Every structure is written in C-alpha cells, then in structure tokens.
Amino acid sequence: MPFADAAQAAFRAGDTAAVTGLAETELRRSTADGDLAGQVESRYYLARVALRGGDLVAAGRLAELALAVAASSGDRALEERPRHVLAAVSRMSGDLPRARLLYEQSIALNLALGHERTVATEYYNLAMCELGLGDLERAAQIVRRFRRSVLEQEWDDLLPYVCLAQASLASAQGDHESAALMIGLCEAAFAALGQVPDPDDDAELKRLRATLGRPSLVEVVERGRHLDPRTVLQARP
C-alpha cells in the first residue's frame, strides 16, 4: 500500500503510533532520494499526529517546514496539505480570524487545482470558524452548501462531518434537541466507518457533549445513534 494511503488509514483509525512510524520512514527515504513530494507528505502526517496530541507548536513547525518544501518545488498542489494543517492549528489555538483567512486561502487554492472534494471539506472548516466568530447566518449558508455537496456527490465518508456541522449550528442557534440528535448521528457515522474524528473536530464534539446537561437530551443522542445519517440529512430543508 502506498505511504499516503497507509498513513491515512492508520490516522483515521486513531493509530498514531503507526502513522508516526510510517511518516518517519517516509521522511528518511524521501530526504535521501530528494523526493520533495514525499518530504511534504511525511511532514504533513507528523504534523497531524502532533495536532492530535495537542502539541500545536510542533504541528505548526512541521507544517511550516512542509510548506517551505512545497513552495520550493514550484508545484502548488503540494501546498494544499500543509496549508490545511496551519489553518487547523490556528483554529485549535483560538485564533479564529487567522483560521478563517487561512481556510479561505485554502479554498481558493483548491478551486484553482480543481480539487472539488477538498473545497467542500475546507468549506466545512470555514463554517466551524464562522460559528466560533458568531456569524451564524454565514455559517448556516456554508453548512447547507457542504451538506448538499456531500449528499449529491455521495461522499458518505464525510457524513459524520456534516452531522457535526449541523450539531454545532443547531447548538449555536439554541436548538439543543436537534444538536443532540446530530451528535448521536455523528458518533454513529464515525463508528460505522471505523474512524475517529480529526483533532479539532474531536474537541468540538466533546464541547457539544458537555453542553447537553439534561438527561432527556442524552436520550436524544442515543436515538440518533440508531438512525441513518443520509436519510435524516436528506430530509432537512
């Protein structure tokens, strides 16, 4: 299995030790071979591991190194992944205005590259920033766009993120029952895929769970775990 595929599968499964081993081996190989793409990819995964471990400084440093190598290559496609990590570092550190700017720049880059799926996921991240910044109207517009793209393109592995975006939006709007239902759907969707959330999304899911409070809302979460995410999302306006 190619390095990127193996590292992605291990990361989604939450096996950070495996990701670290794969990435360190790939970094040694790509450095010895002068393979700039391999150097960028390996540092990107090491940065994601650092991010998951809460070491934002290390994640930012690794992503900056990866971006510098990508820029030196002249291949703008190599800039996409380190730019994503730098935006996530800003989001997790609480610098939401900077995160918003970086996600907007990432969207522009991926539009130019024709990376439709990555554009959709970066819009998701932008929506989460807008929620944190209090612009609920813009966040709602972006969430609807993200949901529509995922459903129309049948990107079912992104359904957990649509559910999480809907949960965050509903919570911000004061609709705690809808938020609870979407939390249940989100957790079930991740479990069905055998995946764990990315670090920034895991933090958001934990934050939302902490706001539930009432036992009745916990029951709604449990009900959501037994529903089909696609069916529920398609029924939303």
**pLDDT digits (tens), the chain, 237 positions:** 789 899 999 998 889 999 999 999 999 999 999 999 999 999 999 999 999 999 999 999 999 999 999 999 999 999 999 999 999 999 999 999 999 999 999 999 999 999 999 999 999 999 999 999 999 999 999 999 999 999 999 999 999 999 999 999 999 999 999 999 999 999 999 999 998 888 888 889 999 999 887 788 989 999 999 999 999 999 887
In a domain, 34, yes or no: yes
In a domain, 186, yes or no: no
Token code pair at residue 110: 């991926």
Token code pair at residue 130: 């807008």
Residues 6+ apart with CB under 8 A from 139: 127, 128, 130, 131, 169, 172
In a domain, 118, yes or no: no
In a domain, 123, yes or no: no
Could you tell me which of 194, 170, 193, 188 has the C-alpha nearest to residue 180? 170
Token look-up 């522009």 returns: 108
Domain range holding 37?
Answer: 1-85
Q: What is the pTM of this model?
A: 0.90
Angstrom CA distances, 27 to 6, 50, 59, stand at: 14, 16, 16
User: Taking a C-beta distance cutoff of 8 angstroms, is the pair 131, 168 a contact?
Assistant: yes
